[in-house]
């Protein structure tokens, strides 16, 4: 890819160039992004936050698993919370500007109408005019009520949308690509097992009944399972297309591209298709060998910018960070990278001894790293009033492991890496500085459990500090930080000069399977292509 087709005309996609250095690929899975099926059974433990929602075995649920918010007698909430202490986050891909309908299969405890509703929010939902609606981190959300109208009653499992007694309006998304759906309490005593977000099969009708339902949607809806596959889209748009391959040991790797669907060959009236990015690959090479990465097959104008990201050196600034809750906020700061920082203002609260499993406020960012490769993390921080009582944070990850593969410092737990700016007792702090997980010494390496997208979460240990950059390095900054711990002026570029251009070269200092990302910025549009490089 990227691919293109007209509505009603099949597009054929080809993964036969995929390879596995250790042997043959045993399975292929394409996700077309016009029919999205989500199972409660597939939600990672790190995305079930707090104590209210519990993974439960239910014999008549999809794959015999549901996520249940048991009835504790709580009153119905009149609005969702901007920073709930317990919630479920679900991740999926969708196309911008395409009308989808949302369906969720739920069951009310004791078939009671007082146990039949929940709130849903999204990272990027918009209305038909492009205005943000029902966003995570706000008190706005869509109410899902199982009972289909006053007096209709509830009985067993049932499918419903976010309208009461009628068909809900379509939902839209601001950008094509990864999305996050958040489920939180409206009434307790409800469980769910499947979600369908559809611009195709169920764009006008429900997957099943609102009462006594036994219609479990096949997990294969919206997917294909062969190296070469075909699919027909009914609605114009630019759809993310995600391929996941697995080998005989069930190790997986994924790559994303897109399918631009037009009506009769006409440009999309919803969102013009961006330039096509082609990162080439997959690539391979040896330690310290210079490897050439070629994006010249991308479809772009002569003025396009080519920006490469390599999974051995990950740089995150505030443009990549999301703040949740009221304590952490983005603030303008002329001394910070890109002129912005995230701040946890100084309220002179005492230092916390452990991280919180469900903090009310935190900072998150996503990234992709290599599985099983040792990294070190560096964070550029500044303590309010240059006070050592304002100089530390807790850091957690969605998929961090130790050298033996054991889960450590995970989101949703009280285990965390403490990062302290002052480099040892009495060393002092002054201005910006780079810190790691070691106090007076170099921090231990961190590892990740897969090459899939990872999340980093920062939460309060002490208040009164700012952060502007995070570097996760298996390369240049593995042994030493990007800059000093005090009076630092070092800003690490997101895309250094050697990572800019249609064709670039790079040598790797660690062995592993590294993700590689190419962004092609052409005028007002950006296209992204993913590939990998295997270093032996």
Question: Would you kindly state where each structural domain of the chain is located, as residue ranges?
Answer: 1-33+226-273, 35-198, 326-473
Mean pLDDT of the 10-38 span = 89
266 has a pLDDT exceeding 50: no
Question: CATH classification of 35-198, choosing from 3.40.50.150, 2.60.120.260, 1.10.3720.10, 3.30.450.40?
Answer: 2.60.120.260
pLDDT tens-digit series, residues 288-312: 999 999 999 888 888 899 999 999 9
> What's the helix, strand, coil split of the chain in %, to 5?
5, 45, 50
Tokens of residue 465, six digits? 């500090």
454 has a pLDDT exceeding 70: yes
Q: How many CA atoms lie within 13 A of 120 on its CB side?
A: 24
pLDDT tens-digit series, residues 390-449: 999 999 999 999 999 899 999 999 999 999 999 988 889 999 999 999 998 999 999 999
pLDDT-based confidence at 269, cuts 50/70/90? very low
pLDDT of residue 364: 93
Q: Please tell me the distance from the alpha carbon of residue 534 to that of residue 536, in angstroms, as a whole number.
A: 7
Judge if pTM exceeds 0.75.
Answer: no
Q: Could you tell me which residue, 239 or 523, shows the higher pLDDT?
A: 239
Distance, C-alpha 235 to centroid of its chain: 25
Question: What CATH number is given for 326-473 in this structure?
Answer: 2.60.120.260
In the block, tokens 């391979």 appear at 284
Q: Is residue 408 a contact partner of residue 357, using CB atoms and an 8 Å limit?
A: no
Q: Please tell me the distance from the alpha carbon of residue 7 to that of residue 236, in angstroms, as a whole number.
A: 6
pLDDT tens-digit series, residues 153-186: 899 999 999 988 788 889 999 989 999 999 999 9
pLDDT of residue 25: 87
Question: What CATH number is given for 1-33+226-273 in this structure?
Answer: 2.60.40.10
Tokens of residue 209, six digits? 């009944």
- Matching CATH topology for 1-33+226-273 and 326-473? no
Sheet holding 223-224, edge to edge: 3-6, 252-262, 237-247, 25-31, 223-224
3 state DSSP class of 172: strand
In the block, tokens 């480099």 appear at 423
72 has a pLDDT exceeding 90: yes
pLDDT of residue 145: 95
Mean pLDDT of the 70-93 span = 95
- List beta partners, residue 455: 366
pLDDT-based confidence at 273, cuts 50/70/90? very low
Q: Please tell me the distance from the alpha carbon of residue 58 to that of residue 74, in angstroms, as a whole number.
A: 23
Mean pLDDT of the 441-468 span = 93
In the block, tokens 């900072």 appear at 363
Q: Please tell me the distance from the alpha carbon of residue 247 to that of residue 503, in angstroms, as a whole number.
A: 30
353-357, 379-383, 524-528: least confidently modelled range: 524-528
452 has a pLDDT exceeding 60: yes
DSSP state letter for 508: -
Tokens of residue 257, six digits? 């591209």
Q: Please tell me the distance from the alpha carbon of residue 65 to that of residue 46, in angstroms, as a whole number.
A: 17
* Full 3-state SS string of 177-210: EEEEEEEEECCCCEEEEEEEEECCCCCCCCCCCC
345 has a pLDDT exceeding 80: yes
DSSP state letter for 271: S
331 has a pLDDT exceeding 90: yes
Closest alpha carbon to 156 in 88, 219, 66: 66
């Amino acid at each position: 890819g990227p691919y293109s087709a007209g509505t009603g005309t099949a597009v054929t996609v080809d993964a036969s160039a995929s390879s596995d250095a250790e042997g043959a690929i045993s399975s292929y899975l394409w996700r077309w992004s016009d029919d999205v099926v989500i199972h409660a059974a597939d939600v990672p433990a790190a995305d079930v936050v707090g104590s209210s929602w519990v993974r439960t075995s239910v014999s008549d649920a999809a794959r015999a698993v549901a996520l249940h918010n048991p009835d504790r007698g709580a009153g119905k909430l009149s609005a969702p919370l901007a920073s709930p202490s317990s919630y479920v986050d679900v991740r999926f891909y969708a196309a911008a500007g395409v009308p989808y309908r949302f369906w969720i299969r739920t069951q009310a405890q004791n078939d009671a109408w007082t146990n039949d509703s929940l709130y849903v929010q999204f990272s990027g939902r918009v209305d038909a005019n492009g205005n943000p609606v029902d966003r995570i981190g706000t008190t706005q959300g869509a109410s899902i009520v199982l009972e289909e109208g006053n007096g209709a009653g509830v009985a067993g499992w049932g499918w419903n949308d976010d309208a009461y007694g009628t068909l809900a309006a379509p939902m839209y998304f601001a950008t094509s690509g990864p999305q996050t759906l958040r489920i939180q309490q409206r009434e307790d005593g409800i469980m769910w097992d499947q979600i369908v977000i559809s611009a195709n099969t169920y764009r006008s009708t429900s997957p099943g009944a609102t009462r006594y339902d036994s219609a479990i949607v096949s997990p294969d809806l919206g997917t294909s399972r062969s190296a070469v596959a075909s699919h027909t889209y009914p609605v114009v748009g630019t759809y993310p297309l995600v391929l996941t391959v697995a080998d005989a040991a069930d190790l997986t790797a994924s790559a994303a591209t897109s399918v631009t669907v037009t009506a009769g060959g006409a440009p999309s009236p919803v969102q013009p298709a961006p330039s096509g990015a082609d990162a080439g690959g997959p690539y391979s090479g040896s330690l310290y060998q210079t490897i050439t990465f070629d994006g010249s097959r991308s479809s772009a104008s002569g003025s396009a910018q080519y920006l490469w990201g390599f999974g051995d050196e990950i740089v995150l600034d505030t443009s990549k960070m999301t703040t949740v809750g009221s304590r952490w906020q983005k603030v303008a700061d002329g001394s910070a990278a890109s002129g912005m920082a995230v701040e946890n203002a100084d309220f002179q609260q005492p230092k916390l001894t452990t991280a919180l499993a469900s903090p009310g406020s935190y900072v998150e960012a996503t990234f992709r790293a290599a599985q099983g490769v040792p990294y070190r993390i560096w964070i550029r921080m500044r303590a309010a009033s240059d006070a050592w009582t304002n100089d530390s944070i807790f850091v957690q990850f969605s998929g961090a492991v130790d050298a033996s593969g054991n889960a450590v410092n995970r989101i949703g737990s009280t285990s965390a890496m403490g990062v302290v700016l002052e480099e040892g007792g009495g060393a002092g702090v002054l201005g910006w500085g780079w810190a790691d997980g070691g106090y007076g010494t170099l921090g231990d390496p961190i590892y990740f459990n897969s090459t899939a997208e990872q999340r980093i979460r920062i939460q309060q240990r002490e208040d009164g500090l700012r952060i502007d950059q995070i570097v996760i390095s298996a390369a240049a900054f593995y042994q030493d930080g990007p800059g000093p711990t005090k009076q630092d002026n070092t800003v690490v570029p997101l895309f250094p000069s050697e990572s800019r251009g249609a064709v670039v070269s790079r040598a790797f200092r660690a062995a592993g399977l590294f993700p590689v990302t190419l962004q092609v910025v052409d005028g007002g549009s950006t296209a992204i292509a993913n590939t990998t490089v295997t270093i032996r």
